[in-house]
Each structure stands twice: as C-alpha cells, then as structure tokens.
Amino acid sequence: MGCNSSLGERAEVPVGEALARLVLCPLMDYLWTPWRYSYLSTAGKAASCIFCDLQRSDDDRKALIVHRGEFNFIVLNAYPYTSGHSMIVPGEHLDQLHKLPPSAATEMMKLAQRLEAVLLEVYQADGVNLGMNVGRAAGAGVAGHIHMHVLPRWIADSNFMTVIGEARMLPELLDTTYQRLKERF
C-alpha cells in the first residue's frame, strides 16, 4: 500500500485499505510556516490597536502610510510577502466588514482599484492578490480592525527560500517601496 496509487486504482482496492491510504497519504500537501507563529499567537493580545496607533501618527513616512483618504488609509505591510504589499485600512475601528459604513466601503474599493493599477504599473506584476481575513479563526493577525491586503504577484514567485529556507527575499527596502508608491498617490 503506497502513496503513489492513482485515484483509478483506489476504486479497485478494498474499502479498509482505501480509507487507510486516505489517512496515511492525504491528497493535500501541508506547508508549515513556523516563523509566523509568534506573530499569530500574540494577535489580539495587544493593549492597543496597531492600525489605530498608526493613523494617529504625525509622521506618515515612519508609520508607512502611503495615502490617507476620507475614510481609509493605505499603509505598507511592515512584514511583506512581496515588495509592494500594502493594506487598505478603515479609519474606524471595526471588527467585521458588514459593520463598515457604505461610504467607507465604497472608498475602500476605489482605493483597491487604484492600488491595483499602481502595483501593476510600478512592479510590472502578473497579478494582484486582494484579501481580507475577518476574525482570528479566519487568520486575521489584527482581528479587531478589518483591513484589506493588496499585493503584487508574479508567475512562479514562490521559491525555495520562502518554502524551505523560511526566509523572504525582497528586492527593495521598505523605504524604497514607500517612495515608489507615495509618488503615485
């Protein structure tokens, strides 16, 4: 009984053995990211909200705030997956998307559209990930304050350094990313 059996072969295998194969040889690969555990395990335990603290900053460059809208702001992710990894954050401290007032939600989507165009232009990206993790169970690192991640992606941009070496390779410093995006807003 090996893991190399095809699905077609499983149909010819006794039920007990087929179940054992599914348990011992799952059809899904698991990639472990232990370097993120310390960040995730402290989520929600902070005395204050990082996004609320950032928006109160009087130094946008130091806070990595690229743009301030009427209801939302764009900030660089301090621990990016890729160069250009940004977040659109409502000014109001809300923990669920449906609580966001329509005017703020509309502005968030307009900023996402603009940021998408800027990232495609500046980084010559092949695509863009947009996403929100609402709540701790959904993987939100800052569960109490919703935010949308927007990051450029390239075909085959995951490499052994991230997957095996547990390290991210970024071709530019955050200060350079900040300057490149700030010029477009």
Active site residues: 147
DSSP state of 169: -
101: Cα within 13 Å, side-chain hemisphere: 9
**Which of 175, 171, 151, 152 lies closest to 161, judged by CA?**
171
| Residue 17 identity (one-letter amino acid) | E
Q: How far apart are CA 92 and CA 100, in angstroms?
A: 8
Name the 3-class secondary structure at 64: coil
| Eight-class DSSP state of 136 | G
Which secondary structure element, helix H or strand E, spans residue 50, and what is its range? helix 50-55
* DSSP 8-class letter at 3: T
Which amino acid is present at 72? Answer: N
